[in-house]
Amino acid sequence: MASTHVVEPVSECLLMVLMIRGYEVAIRTNGDTVRITCPELSQLTVSDSTLDGALTLAEDAINVILTGRDRGDFPKGAA
């Protein structure tokens, strides 16, 4: 009889908090994915399989958000 191995889901945990372009971002991992969010920029949520990749995506996303804010695409409180 073959045994079945049940893998428990890994809960997401806070890895660290960093500043990117003047914004505090929370870096979380669930084992195989790194996710970055920013309380001040609610639309900022990026993820990647590596920390370097997630940080690059976060910086790019912040640049897009700030560019949109400068052009008036977002009200200052929304971005």
In a domain, 3, yes or no: no
In a domain, 24, yes or no: yes
Domain count, the chain: 1
What digits encode the pLDDT tens for the residues 68-79?
A: 876 665 555 544
For residues 43 and 28, give the distance between their C-alpha atoms in angstroms, rounded to a whole number: 16
In a domain, 20, yes or no: yes
> Residue 72: its pLDDT value, please?
65
In a domain, 7, yes or no: no
Measuring CA to CA, which residue among 16, 9, 51, 45 is closest to residue 30? Answer: 9
In a domain, 60, yes or no: yes
Distance of CA 29 to the CA centre of its chain: 10
> Residue 11: its pLDDT value, please?
77
Which structural domain, as residue segments, surrounds residue 65?
13-71
pLDDT bin (cut points 50, 70, 90) of residue 12 is: confident
